[in-house]
Amino acid sequence: MITLKQQIIAESKRLGIDKIGFASAEPFYELEDSLREQRERGFHSGFEHQVIEERIYPEKTFKHPKTIISIALAYPTKIKEDIPKDEKRGMFARASWGIDYHEVLKDRLTKLIAYIQSLATEKEISKDWRFAPQVDTGELVDVAVAQRAGLGFIGRNGLLITEEFGSFVYLGEIITNIDFEIDEPVPFGCGDCTRCVTACPTKALLGNGQMNAQRCLSYQTQTKGMMPEEYRKKIRNVIYGCDICQMVCPYNKGKDFHFHQEMEPEVDTVYPKLKPMLSLSNKAFKEEFGHLSGAWRGKKPLQRNALIALANVGDRSALPDILLCAKEDVRPVIRGTAAWAIGRLGSREADKWLAALNELLQQETEEEVIVELEQAVKQLSKKK
């Protein structure tokens, strides 16, 4: 006789869930030391759930948990369209291609729960079954759940690595009070390989699956203040996220899956022209980028990053647009970043752009912008 677990696995495939596993809801004792160490050393991003006990003990947020059902959806790594070479473009990391993955995962989790509930009704099984779906904004550590559920192992870069799809997967889970037969965890599979650790341009990866999130370029692209100068050149033309530790991973070689239409990228959205981003209205921003997970922090970080990217790719044609930002934008972060970009791009006409910067200095009142203007003046003064 087919078991409830087997029925759920079969339905998950029909729903377009690429991997599914069942983990014990026992406390994640193995996470406690690393989570506390990360907090104490200031290595956390601040985006994660803040109550450590709730990340370790499922019973803190769910009454009598028995099992955690973990799911994974594979996402594409290559775009089918050619990237136009008409003008300089930025790039969103692959995890932000297509519809916001939170919405895609919530859809699959909701449908899976509805199916399990329908079985309870049909077979007159327990009506006391309860479910709590989570995507990465929840309490649990998704990769720890997925490893325990047998979906893959946690690599040196802290990401879940699956046999079939590498690390290019979105993760979600359902906590339930149903007692299922659990799956075997996947053992660590990186061996002596440290390619991701070596390739990380900011040395954010500690090599044991942990990271200093504050140094991660993905984190830096999501902050709202001035980006520290040491990271600016390192983001190159990426305006959201970072794929470096995934692209160098041997498990990811040749991996590119197009299973879900919602995840398919549009070239002008995920490789946007940089100059038009500087003058985007709120309405236009929502229309063009609002459906991406990379839009969750709003317009300002992406516009700041677009200014940095324009400087990094050497687009001097953008200088008039950048100057307009430095003169007229009401946000100090944008004015300050624009000043930095002028300092990097204005060397061919140093006198012209020095005059513009000095004029801006006369009217600027925000200290963080004044610092950037003064540094840009020094930068261009060297080029005279």
Residue type, 39: R
75/164 Cα distance (integer angstroms): 12
Give the CATH fold of the 218-381 domain.
Leucine-rich Repeat Variant (1.25.10)
Under a CB-based contact definition with an 8 Å cutoff, are residues 108 and 71 in contact? yes
Element housing 134 (H / E): strand 131-134
| Dihedral over alpha carbons 208, 40, 25, 174 (to 10 degrees) | -90
- Confidence at residue 137, expressed as pLDDT on a 0 to 100 scale: 80
Q: What is the mean pLDDT of each run of 10 residues along the chain (384 residues)?
A: 94 98 98 93 88 96 97 97 95 98 98 94 77 93 98 98 98 97 97 98 96 97 98 98 98 97 97 98 97 97 98 98 98 98 97 97 97 97 80
80/56 Cα distance (integer angstroms): 41
- Confidence at residue 243, expressed as pLDDT on a 0 to 100 scale: 97
Under a CB-based contact definition with an 8 Å cutoff, are residues 83 and 97 in contact? no
- Confidence at residue 382, expressed as pLDDT on a 0 to 100 scale: 86
86 is catalytic: no
Strand partners, 74: 169
Let me know how long the chain is.
Answer: 384
Q: What are phi and psi of 204, to 5 degrees?
A: -80, -25
Cβ within 8 Å of residue 254, ≥6 positions away: none
DSSP reduced 3-state for 15 = coil
SS (H, E, C) 296-308: CCCHHHHHHHHHH
The encoded tokens of residue 154 equal: 């946690």
Q: What is the DSSP letter of 202?
A: T
Whole-model pTM? Answer: 0.96
Buried b / exposed e over 320-343, threshold 16 CB at 10 Å, is ebbbebbeebebbbbbbbbbbbbb
- Confidence at residue 36, expressed as pLDDT on a 0 to 100 scale: 94
Comma-separated ranges of CATH 1.25.10 domains in the chain: 218-381
66/184 Cα distance (integer angstroms): 16
Catalytic residue, chosen from 136, 142, 243, 321, is 136
